[in-house]
Structure 1
């Protein structure tokens, strides 16, 4: 099975602390690498994680609060110093691009690679990126400003060839793609070997949902139904539910309710308020609703 991993670079909220960095993640899907949000300090976290900067093909920015985007111009500058020549694609709300262009003009004159802007409509649940192996969809959220999450989903793959059966019937290499696509095999004696004897089912497509800053959305689960791994902000415990509502954030219990209703396989919590010296209280609250819950933490890697 090809790798599908989520690297946590930062999982704190807006106020800097010594415990957590600002929001940023790297998603590795097969041979592609994407970044979701790029808070201050992300470059140092990339170094610590030993991720190759130049393998990043795109950055997805959920919204224009500084703890989710202040690090991007520094990253772009560093990529230039490292000799990048391939384009870097940036997906973000429309208001970000005039700001980013001003920063590029001021700090990044003479870049030898192109920064390609892609406007994301945060009000729509749409495919915003697609290639032969995956799609990325925007997931509308409810924050103080325009904000969306992102759903990374693999496309279905072809069945696996059964090597033992292929060798047994001496099926030539040139016929293997046909068999993967459902063809039977006819032997020299005219016997039909059903395709089901020659293949095993493909691995089920995997999916990862990143739900950034948001007030609790009871209907959010419908857009991420059946997701394998869900990252959902849990800035507060329920004792601060009024504060969560005021600042358009979620509690641990609310995040767990989304995971439960979505039928998610695993929940990861993040974007912790600086008021918590120990996030175990957040974890325990969520686990009363959705037991298969973990806390995000810097340098932790989750397999999807």
Structure 2
């Protein structure tokens, strides 16, 4: 795994993973390919640019010529690059299909041409769809309910098909909700933190009973690293954090960490599609690769709040005052109006 190409390496999770790779003695070179869309920032890599191992390339995974040139000299690929925000997928599903599906196929084709030794495709627990009860395993059916999750599920299946059809050494990882420093403030944890630190209100959808499993970004990166090094080709690995919280419970923890009260919270009608619960077993990666999350949830949240408190220069430019939402497709508008 001496030369690793990391797509989306200037994003939230990707940048943490790049720093982990650069600290490893057996990694001689890391190339980051990132389109630097609204969610990707070179500032996320920070001191990583001081490493002689790092090469940064500003470009898109849909650029087949560029991808081919980069993959040609890579030993392994870890593929983070994706459109990833559920709400945005309601208004721009085509962009999600283009990047998440066609972009993944572009990378897979190049990996196949150049004999890459390992391709790790980073995915999400949302591909399993809502789990009102029970827990999804790697063998559970994929039942995504929103365009974002559907595009990731399609990419998962295409990646795995390249192993079945061509023998490409592909592994797929599916993680639960991530949190930690440097996350874009469109996501719920940094959104609530940044608003509360500014004395602004936060809103909860429905009754605040949606359940998510919360995984610190460093634990997620540790799991991906294990799969990169020792995962079995053709296998899927769920990476969980072991900390389930309702949105109400998450909000309570964030209020305490930000020294705010429930007076800052308002409940609003739920969005038209909002899966009530995700639940995903991760005993496979624990049993076969020795994965264990180590970050305590409350401590991880407190650490995350401290980062946002001392780094307003990083997130304030990303949190403009709310603007009118783009026009919703007619079918969704009709559903939302019911």
User: Per the shorter chain, which TM-score range?
Assistant: 0.3 to 0.5
TM-score by length of 2: 0.31
- Whose strand fraction is larger, Structure 1's or Structure 2's? 1
Largest Rg, 1 or 2: 1
